[in-house]
Every structure is written in structure tokens, then in C-alpha cells.
């Protein structure tokens, strides 16, 4: 079931609905995080890097106080690259490395966008340090929606 708020999430320039992409990346990050979390030191480094990336992006997205601002920020490549350089010591979102661990910048950033969207529309606060391993009901419910 699609909520009325979700229908407004169409990129102005492209006409593409962004929510399914954000959901897919959030689901993917959660599956990957939980699938490798118990496999030794390398997997712990990967999980720590993903958590750091999601937390950094989600924190930076707090300045987006409306859904429209969030949608615009999603498409601002220079802003994402600036966050990567300033906060994560990585050259760009495309070349994202956190603590020496290469990550999918698209996957991590769109997961953060999805989480900020949930915060805005469900009026909840997401803890980025636990959301991938123990998502709150607001996240689970949103991912189940069509």
C-alpha cells in the first residue's frame, strides 16, 4: 500500500519515483550488514564503515526539514562529494572508502536518504548505529509497503 505522501516523491527533472530506489538500497545494506556481521575481523571493519557512513550522511541530512529539501539534496552531487571529502576523508561518493574499506556510495547514501525520509514522514528518530542490525518498527513497516 502506497501512502499519499509517498506519491509526491518524483524527481522533478527526470519524472522518476525515488522511493523504490531508496527502499532497495536500504534493504540491500541491511541484508549485507547482517549477512556478514558474524564473519570475523574483516566483516566487523566493513560493518563499522557502513555504520559510520550511514551515520555521517544521516547527520548531514538533518538540515533537510522537508521532503522537498530531501529530494533536492538527493540529486546534489557536489553536496555529497563535499560531505565525503570533509567528513569521511574520501574523494567522492563514487569512490567512497571509509577506514580503508571500499563501499557503495550509492548504497550508503540512499540508505541514509531512506532513513531521513522515514524520520520526516513517521516523526521518529532513527539511531544509525543500530538501525541496520535492529531496525525499529517504523523502518520495517515502511519497507513492507508497496
**Side-chain-side CA neighbours of residue 20 (13 Å):** 7
Burial of 11 (0-12, 13-18, 19+ CB in 10 A): middle
Q: How far apart are CA 113 and CA 110, in angstroms?
A: 5
**10 pLDDT exceeds 80?**
no
Q: How far apart are CA 117 and CA 50, in angstroms?
A: 19
**Number of compact structural domains in the chain:** 1
Domain that holds residue 127: 17-144
Between 55 and 9, the more confident residue is: 55
pTM equals 0.84
Select from 20, 36, 44, 14 the least CA-distant residue to 113.
20
**7 pLDDT exceeds 80?**
no
Q: Please give the share of the chain, as a percent, with pLDDT higher than 70.
A: 87
**Looking at the domain assignment, is residue 5 inside a domain?**
no
pLDDT of residue 25: 85
Q: What is the pLDDT of residues 102-117, one digit of tens each?
A: 999 999 999 999 999 9
Q: What is the pLDDT of residues 73-95, one digit of tens each?
A: 999 999 999 999 999 999 999 99
**Looking at the domain assignment, is residue 3 inside a domain?**
no
Q: Which residue is it, cell 509526491?
A: 8
**Looking at the domain assignment, is residue 11 inside a domain?**
no
pLDDT of residue 131: 94
Residues 6+ apart with CB under 8 A from 41: none
Between 24 and 12, the more confident residue is: 24
Amino acid at each position: 500500500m502506497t501512502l499519499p505522501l509517498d506519491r509526491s516523491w518524483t524527481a522533478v527533472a527526470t519524472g522518476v519515483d525515488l522511493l523504490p530506489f531508496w527502499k532497495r538500497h536500504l534493504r540491500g545494506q541491511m541484508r549485507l550488514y547482517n549477512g556478514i556481521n558474524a564473519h570475523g575481523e574483516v566483516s566487523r571493519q566493513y560493518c563499522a564503515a557502513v555504520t559510520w557512513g550511514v551515520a555521517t550522511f544521516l547527520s548531514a541530512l538533518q538540515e533537510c526539514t522537508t521532503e522537498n529539501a530531501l529530494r533536492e539534496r538527493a540529486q546534489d552531487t557536489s553536496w555529497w562529494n563535499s560531505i565525503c571529502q570533509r567528513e569521511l576523508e574520501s574523494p567522492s561518493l563514487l569512490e567512497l572508502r571509509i577506514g580503508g574499506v571500499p563501499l557503495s556510495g550509492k548504497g550508503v547514501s540512499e540508505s541514509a536518504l531512506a532513513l531521513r525520509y522515514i524520520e520526516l514522514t513517521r516523526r521518529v528518530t532513527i539511531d544509525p548505529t543500530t538501525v541496520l542490525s535492529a531496525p525499529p518498527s517504523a523502518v520495517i513497516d515502511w519497507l513492507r509497503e508497496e
